[in-house]
Structure 1
Amino acid sequence: MGIGQLAGFAGATVVLVGMPGPNNTYISLRSLTQGRRAGVVSALAVETGTLVYIVVTALGLATLVQASPKLFTAITVAGALYLAYLGLKLLKAPAADHSAGIQAAPLGRIFRDGVVVNLLNPKAALFFLAFLPQFTTRGAGPAQLRTEMLLLGVGALLIGITLDLSYAIGADAIGRRFRSVRTTTRARNLVVAAIYLGLSAFALVSAL
């Protein structure tokens, strides 16, 4: 891989990772409604999911998913259903029960949900299945190909955590005003739930 190729990879990764999607939306909503700390935990959780993708790619399991459109569709549908689950959980939260809403979610739960959202994010899967291989050396042997994919994955991880933290900090700045508005927990949950359910519907339509 030459310098020009790496520069192209970095630029394209910034665009792809920075585009709105389930990961960025999850981080922004957590930071918006619960504050910077929750947003940072969300960002770290999402990139923990990226680490899993890097390991899967290194083991060659990504090729299996790439060769099976049905498996990829199943991952997409599972991701959409998980987003719907997060939305429905908020809709069911009693108005007076702050512990059930997104605003009082424990950091452990925020981290767990962030990892799952990324693992079931079709954009993340496509990134490692279709995008990364384009920047590897043509004709490279298995060992070299694995090494290059690992290096590209680590580069994507560093870019991703930088952008994710930017989303978290930016959303927190906006969220300070959002959280100061005199609205009920129920009303805020409805807004966030609607966003989750909208993302879920979009993902399902794209998969089916």
Structure 2
Amino acid sequence: MLIEPGQLLLFVVACWLLNLTPGPDVLYIVTRALRGGRRAGFLAVAGISAGCLVHVAVASLGLGVLLATSATLFIAIKWIGAAYLLWVGVRMLRADAAPVLPAAGAAPLAAAGSPWQVFAGGFLTNVLNPKVVLFFLAFLPQFIAPSEQNKTLAFALLGGVFIVNSVPVNASYVLLADRMRSSRWAARGMRWLDRVAGVLFIGFGMRLALSTRPLP
């Protein structure tokens, strides 16, 4: 057995708790859902999940160890990711207020961007953060028995469970944001929401830029 049932249950609970913690991914999902409705929100979730798949694959194949031990590689990816988050933040600060329709879920997707733009934005928000793959390298092995022979398969399995567990949590954020967008507050406050989200994305980018490489 790759993973003991007790360890798997503990892992599932830990995943849910971690996914409930707001970060760049959650902020991206909520802002896209508020602008473009459920479809935009779910496309954002799909993009972020695709980014997580990349991180799991990288960590499972052992390439994550290279990222963890190579200062040059870590710094390069870190600055690319930080620049992207800063760019997203500046775009939000400069964005025009999007119209919010009275019926929840009825917004045109164009208010959040094209389907590809929404998906790609979620993907890049996740995949350009080197801290995510380092998180997988530090978190997942705790639930794999030292005696397990096929650690690569066990690692990939846990990564898949983590991604699957994140979907209902992220979907809940989408539905909540879609419901909020039908309120009068959302109609009047979208411009301010973009400003707050822009500042937060800039903060996430600066925090990533100032982060240091963990010791091997």
Name the TM-score, length of structure 2 as normaliser: 0.80
Asked if residue 27 in structure 1 is aligned to residue 33 in structure 2, the reply is no
Please give the alpha-carbon distance, in whole angstroms, between the structure 2 residues aligned to 1:123 and 1:55.
Answer: 15
Flag structure 1 segments of 5+ consecutive residues without an equivalent.
Answer: none
1:134 to 120, 136, 142: 142
Please give the alpha-carbon distance, in whole angstroms, between the structure 2 residues aligned to 1:66 and 1:23.
Answer: 22
CA deviation vs aligned residue, 1:105-137 (integer Å, no higher than 9, x gap) = 112101111101111234522331110111112
Please give the alpha-carbon distance, in whole angstroms, between the structure 2 residues aligned to 1:180 and 1:10.
Answer: 34
Please give the alpha-carbon distance, in whole angstroms, between the structure 2 residues aligned to 1:32 and 1:123.
Answer: 27
> Percent identical across equivalent pairs?
34
1:151 alignment partner in structure 2? 157
Query: Within 5 A, what are the aligned runs for 1:41-60?
Result: 41-60=43-62
Offset at residue 36 of structure 1 (A) = 1.4
Flag structure 2 segments of 5+ consecutive residues without an equivalent.
Answer: 100-109
> Does the 8 A contact of 1:84 with 1:197 survive in 2?
yes
Amino acid at match of 1:34: G
Query: Within 5 A, what are the aligned runs for 1:164-179?
Result: 164-177=170-183
Please give the alpha-carbon distance, in whole angstroms, between the structure 1 residues aligned to 2:92 and 2:162.
Answer: 32
Higher share in helix: 1
Asked if residue 118 in structure 1 is aligned to residue 126 in structure 2, the reply is yes
Closer, same or farther: CA 45–178 of 1 in aligned 2, 3 Å: farther
Offset at residue 9 of structure 1 (A) = 0.9
CA deviation vs aligned residue, 1:11-64 (integer Å, no higher than 9, x gap) = 111111221111111111111222111111000110011111222223221121
Amino acid at match of 1:137: A
Amino acid at match of 2:129: N
Runs of 4+ in 1 over 6 A off after TM superposition: none
Please give the alpha-carbon distance, in whole angstroms, between the structure 2 residues aligned to 1:42 and 1:58.
Answer: 24
Please give the alpha-carbon distance, in whole angstroms, between the structure 1 residues aligned to 2:169 and 2:98.
Answer: 33
Please give the alpha-carbon distance, in whole angstroms, between the structure 2 residues aligned to 1:77 and 1:207.
Answer: 11
2:207 alignment partner in structure 1? 202
Q: How many residues align?
A: 201
Closer, same or farther: CA 64–179 of 1 in aligned 2, 3 Å: same
Stretch of structure 1 that moved more, 116-125 or 146-155: 116-125
